[in-house]
Amino acid sequence: MSTIVFFPTCPSLPIIPSFPPPSLSFWSSLKPTTKLRSRLSGRLRPVAAAAPLASETTITADNADSPDATAIVIRARNRVGLLRVITRVLGVLGLRIDRATVEADGDFFLKTFFVVDSHGAKIEDFDSLERIKNAIRDAIDGGFDLAMSGRSEIVPRRRAGVGGLVSGEEKGRTVRFFEMMDGFLKNDPVSLQKDILDHVEFTVARSRFNIDDFEAYQGMAHSVRDRLIERWHDTQQFFKKKDPKRLYYLSLEFLMGRSLSNSIINLGVKDQYMDALNQLGFSFEILAEQEGDAALGNGGLARLSACQMDSLATMDFPAWGYGLRYQYGLFRQVILDGFQHEQPDYWLNFGNPWEIERVHVSYAVKFYGTVEEKHLNGKNCKVWIPGETVEAVAYDNPIPGYGTRNTINLRLWAAKPSGQYDMESFGTGDYINAIIDRQKAETISSVLYPDDRSYQGKELRLKQQYFFVSASVQDIIRRFKDSHSSFDKFHEKVALQLNDTHPSLAIVEVIRVLVDEEHLSWKEAWDIACNIFSYTTHTVVPEGLEKIPVDLLGSLLPRHLQIIYDINFSFTEELKQRFGLDYDRLSRMSIIEEGAVKNIRMANLSIVVCHNVNGVSRAHLDTLKSKVFKDFYELWPQKFHHKTNGITQRRWVVVSNPGLCDLITKWLGTDAWIREVDLLLGLREHVENKELQLEWRTVRRVNKIRLVEFIEAMTGMKVSPDAMFDVQIKRIHEYKRQLLNILGIIHRYDCIKNMKDSERKRVVPRVCIIGGKAAPGYEMAKKIIKLCHSVGEKINSDPDIGDLLKLIFIPDYNVSVAELVIPGSDLSQHISTAGHEASGTGSMKFLINGCLLLATADGSTLEIIDEIGEENMFICGAKIHEVAMMRENGEAPKLPLELVHVLRMVRDGYFGHEEYFKPLCDSIESAGDFYLLGHDFPSYLEAQAAADKAFVDQETWTKMSILSTAGSGKFSSDRTIGDYAAETWGIEPCRCPF
């Protein structure tokens, strides 16, 4: 009597189409022999511990055996459930099984599967056939439980019974476990509805018959998280099995934004969720708006980290991110009477459904105390006796890749009181102070970038940095030791990336742990550190490099100060051998900065140890070599490279601009550009097509109307979608020159005000939009925000101006606001003083969305010019070398008359608050005009006039917009990560096959 084996339906995957399960008639057609039938008829049981040898399995692919299908012939040792695994792998790869034959050959199966792709065609491509064979071989020869699990889990270690045997009770328990998890979570609308409502009732604890939008969002978010965790487990188990070299990305900031839309798109289930919600009476768009931004970052560096995590997952690299779980992120910006006020951002008030608290993953982090020398194991050792201990508790955030099952991890650390109670304090009744002291520990991860103008602020900032790297290093070393008995291969399996100098104490911590706790020799620890660390700097001027007072570091981390002095001694001795007693050079390059206050130069420490130092654009690397790190470049030119920053097209087009995403896919004939962004170049072939131009303008107008509605909701101001939307959104800073923009707006206003009615008819209407936050202690930036509001009040209420000019300030600018503003923008300004922007990723987000750039030739803009041509941009201002020459000459250029007139309007109180704005005017007229607003003002006005002229000709403007998107491929974070992986980290893709 034959046995029928049930095969669970495989889920649909991103990119890979879903497929029907094999029918029962298909399985009956296999007609197994008597010997084979007897082997299949037994009860399901756990797989034997030993996996078959790879040499026992042979797999061939043949297109000659059948005119309409590809034959996959597999010879493998018989195992229970093997048929299930093979058909499941074929299904996950998007193949359909037309027919199959099975023959027995002793202890082996000989299986032939005739398969076609999702379109019913044979598989002709050699690479695709190799991929199919490798995936099947990995599944058969790997350590997966092929017999019972529909999931790619590694077989758990069995607890031994008497005599090391597994008891019958434990066998049955294992079988039950796997039977319960047999198959992936289903993604059809009915299953999704059930999961959402189950979470509403059992996770959110609300009745499914009475839920609001926020509760529905929570139920949906938890159901999505279930699917992320499912893939996360499979990915991590596969990494553990393969043991590849892993990247650990250390950054104090990750500005992730909202997770819901990005997650369901990367999972490939957006349409299914939208159908499920519609049937439940909810709108996906409304539920998505219920999510707040994860306030874990400050600006461009933080958003860069988030983009790079997305690319690492999508490109299947084995990677982890590490950061801090700030309870209060970057402040909420509130505008009252035009003045910025800061309020705490309670982003965790309603919980965070995307994180998984790992209470069992915690590490003790030590501070203060003394260092003693003890004799251990026949040698003298340094022992750090801490004065304070804090617990670091892990919170995991799964990061899904697009078009892959790989889901990597962002682990954030939260500070908790130590579990070691001071019993003496409790015994003496002083338990109140004991509790207060321990609660102080939680402040370490409370605030993003505490104010470090005071000693207490500097100490808290240093505590944050060390707390973060200590927990991360302990976690990395623990994970390595789980699979390796010695540190001989540590540098072959681990790469650590320092995102700026904030995590640079990780260098010292690795050496300390290896020497003091793992008892490696100094040379062994030093060689490991020099091979595993790489460093990316975002600084453009030496004055901006991070320094830590020696006294502060010695008090908080006494052992680390000793190690830094040891490193510096060895380094300066090497310098003496190379350059002799050049004391000026020794002083500049020393890790220890002498002076009234001794400091540790964290950048110098990073360069000395790291094997690779990266700038973030071609121009930035030139600045590093010629100015910021000139001495180090002369010593180690081979260390210095650049990896131009990039942004992820998944977040900044697929999520934020779905209309443009669909349009691009239509005209390219494929959605493969979402992973292979260079395919965008194909748009150039259609740029003259009138139909594309019309559809392009239609998509852009829809986005502008959406932005119009947002502006009205946020500010009460009604603006026309027919106007040019001129946008500058970024952190408020003097070098970013929002002041130049505002002064240009005043000039435009003054010109329109003095025009005749007939002349005003020829004016291109503009809606000028500015957004961004000023640092709490940055008074000049706050004055710029107030000036923007004062000018806006005057212009927006002037009946002579009407809709010809509006000035809008968008408060509390964040990632979610950017996702709405960027797709609706016509012109985007990136006008930093040349030489002050290391890269600039904001321009890339606008570029890929077809927004035209008005920019100075700074940072990555120089490379954008190379890709799309200066004729498709509006370039203004002095070049980098011209800025340097003017500053060396020390002569302040004479201000143009147009600017003098505008400044006089501000000084004379035309916009009110003349005394408050006086320092802004003085910075240009009296203080040397360091940021060269006066020099660049005429060029800036010319660029604005050129933009007006181009906007009048909508066909020309549309072509420029299409060409901007077409040329944006280089500025994908996928390209950046690919460069890092090949040239810096030495890691390779490790794609989970299931």
In Å, how far are 285, 546, 580, 615 from 712, measured between CA atoms? 19, 42, 67, 41
Distance, in Å, from the CA atom of 221 to the CA atom of 351, rounded to the nearest integer, reads 12
Any residues with CB less than 8 A from the CB of 435 and at least 6 apart, and which?
A: none
Angle formed at CA 905 by CA 903 and CA 908, multiple of 5 degrees: 105
- 782 counts as catalytic: no
The β-bridge partners of 111 are 74, 102
Q: Cα 420 to chain center, whole Å?
A: 36
Distance, in Å, from the CA atom of 40 to the CA atom of 49, rounded to the nearest integer, reads 19
Which residue has tokens 């993003």? 448
Cβ atoms of residues 966 and 680 within 8 Å: yes
Residues in the chain: 994
Say whether 432 sits in a helix, a strand or coil.
helix
Which of 314, 833, 841, 984 is catalytic? The answer is: 841
Which of 845, 935, 959, 991 is catalytic? The answer is: 845
Report residue 815: phi and psi, to 5°: -60, -45
- 159 counts as catalytic: no
Distance, in Å, from the CA atom of 302 to the CA atom of 253, rounded to the nearest integer, reads 5
Query: How crowded is residue 589: how many other Cβ atoms within 10 Å of its Cβ?
Result: 22
Q: Which of 312, 395, 383 is nearest to 359 (CA)?
A: 395
- For the record, the structure tokens of 66 come out as 């059948």
Say whether 932 sits in a helix, a strand or coil.
coil
Q: Which of 231, 136, 99, 269 is nearest to 992 (CA)?
A: 231
Distance, in Å, from the CA atom of 332 to the CA atom of 292, rounded to the nearest integer, reads 12
- For the record, the structure tokens of 207 come out as 């009745």
Distance, in Å, from the CA atom of 594 to the CA atom of 576, rounded to the nearest integer, reads 18
Q: Cα 678 to chain center, whole Å?
A: 20
Which of 405, 704, 730, 747 is catalytic? The answer is: 730
Distance, in Å, from the CA atom of 388 to the CA atom of 643, rounded to the nearest integer, reads 40
Largest CA distance in the chain: 102
Distance, in Å, from the CA atom of 942 to the CA atom of 874, rounded to the nearest integer, reads 9
The β-bridge partners of 604 are none
Say whether 856 sits in a helix, a strand or coil.
strand
SS (H, E, C) 45-71: CCCCCCCCCHHHCEEEEECCCCCCCEE
* 449-456 LR contacts (CB < 8 Å, sep 24+): 449/298, 449/330, 451/776, 451/777, 453/777, 455/552
- 70 counts as catalytic: no
Which of 225, 227, 538, 639 is catalytic? The answer is: 538
Distance, in Å, from the CA atom of 607 to the CA atom of 42, rounded to the nearest integer, reads 63
Distance, in Å, from the CA atom of 495 to the CA atom of 498, rounded to the nearest integer, reads 10
Q: Cα 819 to chain center, whole Å?
A: 15
Which of 458, 731, 760, 918 is catalytic? The answer is: 731
Distance, in Å, from the CA atom of 854 to the CA atom of 964, rounded to the nearest integer, reads 12
Cβ atoms of residues 279 and 189 within 8 Å: yes
| CA count, 13 A, side-chain hemisphere, 66 | 20
Cβ atoms of residues 953 and 931 within 8 Å: no
- 538 counts as catalytic: yes
Do the bridges between strand 339-343 and strand 332-336 make them parallel or antiparallel, or are there none, so unpaired? Answer: antiparallel
Which of 270, 736, 830, 991 is catalytic? The answer is: 736
H-type alpha helices, 20-115 = 24-28, 34-40, 82-92
Cβ atoms of residues 520 and 510 within 8 Å: no
- 736 counts as catalytic: yes
- 841 counts as catalytic: yes
Any residues with CB less than 8 A from the CB of 974 and at least 6 apart, and which?
A: 311, 314, 315, 646, 648, 649, 675, 677
Which residues does the annotation mark as catalytic?
Answer: 538, 730-731, 736, 841, 845
